[in-house]
A and B are shown apart, each in its own frame.
Chain A
Amino acid sequence: MADNGQARETAERIARRHYGKLVAFLAARTGDVAGAEDALSDAFAAALLDWPKSGVPQIPEAWLLTAARRRIIDMNRRKATGEKGASHLELIARELRALEINADRTQIPDERLRLMFACAHPAIDPAIRAPLILQTVLGFDAVAIGSAFLISPAAMGKRLVRAKSKIGQARIPFRIPERTEMHERLDSVLEAIYAVFAEGWSEPTGTDVRRREWTEEGIWLGRLVISLLPDEPEALGLLALMLYAESRRRARRSPDGRYVPLQEQDTALWDEALIDEAETLLRKASAIQMTGRYQLEAALQSAHVVRRKTGRADWAAIERIYDALFAVTGSPVVAVNRAVALAQTRGAAAWLKALDALAKEEKLADYQPYWAARADLFAQLGNISAAGEAYCRAIGLERDSAVRAFLQEQQAALSVLAKKT
């Protein structure tokens, strides 16, 4: 029984570690992502039956690949009719046989980045690209993905199936784009990676293990892109951005789970090694002199973590970076954050002016930080009733209970403030 448990554990570990690599490898050859996934899940099931009896093979990856290959050939044999189908099948069989021989001796080439570029292809619906990468490269199921992207698992499942069959039927190539088209293509890959990371980040306590893994997977994918495309400034910027965020994980909540705003975090709890790595990446990206959204966002983080050395964030730099970021994105959300930086550099009057200019933005009506910023501002200006109302809006919009509790405390503190004045 102990052996059984161990074999199961080994199979599961290998499944987690190698899933994306094996899917990418098979799908890149057959063009059939769903088929590769099915074949692999069968191969893993076979491993769970076989390994407890025969022992874990020396090269588990090669074993799984062989089992998956047989399954793919079986499936194709059943599907293919007519001469053309048969010759296509023969071609696939020959290629898979060749790789099986190689798998015993050599490393299986890593084609996950190719798979990611296929999933993030312009011919794939932009909204399904990140979920598709989650599923094919990381092996997440439609239930987990659906809950993260607020879509019912059934609907998510359908859209994923459609995207996968489009890759096969329209023959979307598994390749790293040429230099000239890299910019646009890489953007969607980075966007998908950031979506993975951000999903995990929204669960800060780490109580939800699956969610916690998403930030790790996001960083891991970021590293993968860098290892294959070491000179893409935005890819470097994104990895730096994720590492800066990750470095503050322990400081985001107090030991009793309360929300701690960035400015009040204990810098001793920040992870120095991660910050250093992020700074190095960001310097490398800046040297290439092609600025972009992720580099700017990473630069913001860098200006915040300066506090660990100087005791104060570099607000002048933060304001400048927000200006640049607003120029790139034109996003009202960026404008809100810029207004908060103005409060530090130019005082409450400039802050009020900047926030008032945003009052008509419809997008901000349900954006929590906008209302929290307004509340904070009114509190500083001594307008207690306006501050209270704004806190109320902010509290109603927040989905993270720790942040909600924090805002409620701020709101409660207003009455103390009111008594004083």
Chain B
Amino acid sequence: MQYLFLIYGNEQAMLSAPKETAEKTMAAYAAYTDAMTKAGVLVGGNRLRPTSSASSVRVNNGKPQVLDGPYAEIKEQLAGYYLVDVPDLDAALSWAARCPGAERGTIEVRPVWPRGE
């Protein structure tokens, strides 16, 4: 069963963190990613560029409309994601709890809707 981890955090705080802190965070993420790979649960994942680089698109009366910025302005922003494949929600939650981003932000865990269901 696949689950998507959506990593939300305070983008401003992350971007303005001192270099040393940022490096520590990156190292923690590298170790976390490595652990998931070695456990054979990682399907994919990426860090995302800040919301200042986001564009949002919707089609209105057949015409695509592009807006500068992320879909929703909220206190915490989507900073990255992982896609994992584990037996059940407990396994997914225990991996999510280990994510370095869970310490300061929130990891939303969403089951993937299997094809054909």
A: residues with CB less than 8 A from B are 79-85, 121-123, 169-173, 175
The 8 closest A-B pairs by CB, nearest first: A82-B116, A173-B88, A84-B116, A85-B116, A171-B88, A170-B111, A170-B89, A172-B89
Choose among A83, A123, A170, A171 the residue that contacts B116 (Cβ–Cβ < 8 A). Answer: A83
A80 with B88: CB separation less than 8 A: no
* Interchain CA distance A81-B117 in the complex, whole Å: 7
B: residues with CB less than 8 A from A are 1, 87-90, 93, 109, 111, 113-117
Chain A nearest CB: distance from B14 CB in Å?
A: 27
Question: For B88, B90, B111, B117, which residue has the most chain A Cβ atoms within 10 angstroms?
Answer: B90
Question: For B87, B89, B117, which residue has the most chain A Cβ atoms within 10 angstroms?
Answer: B89
Contacts of B1 in A (CB 8 A): 171
* Interchain CA distance A85-B113 in the complex, whole Å: 12
Choose among A79, A80, A173 the residue that contacts B89 (Cβ–Cβ < 8 A). Answer: A173
Q: Is the interface of B mostly helix, strand, loop or mixed?
A: loop
* Interchain CA distance A84-B114 in the complex, whole Å: 8
B115 with A172: CB separation less than 8 A: no
Choose among B89, B113, B116 the residue that contacts A81 (Cβ–Cβ < 8 A). Answer: B116
B90 with A80: CB separation less than 8 A: no
Contacts of A82 in B (CB 8 A): 115-116
- Given A169-B111, A171-B1, A171-B111, also A123-B89 (CB < 8 A): yes
Contacts of B109 in A (CB 8 A): 170
A171-B88, A171-B89, A173-B89 are known; give 17 further A-B pairs, CB within 8 A. Answer: A80-B116, A80-B117, A81-B116, A82-B115, A83-B116, A84-B114, A121-B89, A122-B93, A123-B89, A169-B111, A169-B113, A170-B111, A171-B87, A171-B111, A172-B88, A173-B87, A173-B88
Chain A nearest CB: distance from B34 CB in Å?
A: 24
Please list 7 pairs of residues, one from A and one from B, whose beta carbons are closer than 8 Å in the complex, sorted by A's number.
Answer: A80-B117, A81-B116, A85-B117, A122-B93, A123-B89, A171-B1, A173-B90
Residue of B nearest to A83 (CB): B116
* Interchain CA distance A83-B113 in the complex, whole Å: 15
* Interchain CA distance A245-B55 in the complex, whole Å: 63
Contacts of B89 in A (CB 8 A): 121, 123, 170-173
Q: Is the interface of A mostly helix, strand, loop or mixed?
A: loop
* Interchain CA distance A83-B117 in the complex, whole Å: 10
Contacts of A84 in B (CB 8 A): 114-117
Residue of B nearest to A178 (CB): B90
* Interchain CA distance A80-B116 in the complex, whole Å: 7
* Interchain CA distance A85-B109 in the complex, whole Å: 23
Contacts of A123 in B (CB 8 A): 89, 93
Question: For A80, A82, A84, A171, which residue has the most chain B Cβ atoms within 10 angstroms?
Answer: A171
* Interchain CA distance A317-B88 in the complex, whole Å: 47
Chain A nearest CB: distance from B74 CB in Å?
A: 22
Contacts of B116 in A (CB 8 A): 80-85
Contacts of B90 in A (CB 8 A): 172-173, 175
* Interchain CA distance A169-B1 in the complex, whole Å: 10
Question: For A80, A85, A169, which residue has the most chain B Cβ atoms within 10 angstroms?
Answer: A169
* Interchain CA distance A80-B117 in the complex, whole Å: 6
* Interchain CA distance A82-B117 in the complex, whole Å: 8
Residue of A nearest to B110 (CB): A170
Contacts of A171 in B (CB 8 A): 1, 87-89, 111
* Interchain CA distance A284-B75 in the complex, whole Å: 51
* Interchain CA distance A151-B24 in the complex, whole Å: 49
* Interchain CA distance A170-B88 in the complex, whole Å: 8
Contacts of A169 in B (CB 8 A): 111, 113
* Interchain CA distance A82-B113 in the complex, whole Å: 14
Contacts of A121 in B (CB 8 A): 89
Residue of A nearest to B3 (CB): A170
Chain A nearest CB: distance from B83 CB in Å?
A: 15
Chain B nearest CB: distance from A115 CB in Å?
A: 15
Contacts of B117 in A (CB 8 A): 79-80, 84-85
Contacts of A122 in B (CB 8 A): 93
Contacts of B114 in A (CB 8 A): 84
Residue of A nearest to B116 (CB): A82
Chain A nearest CB: distance from B90 CB in Å?
A: 5
Contacts of B115 in A (CB 8 A): 82, 84
Contacts of A81 in B (CB 8 A): 116
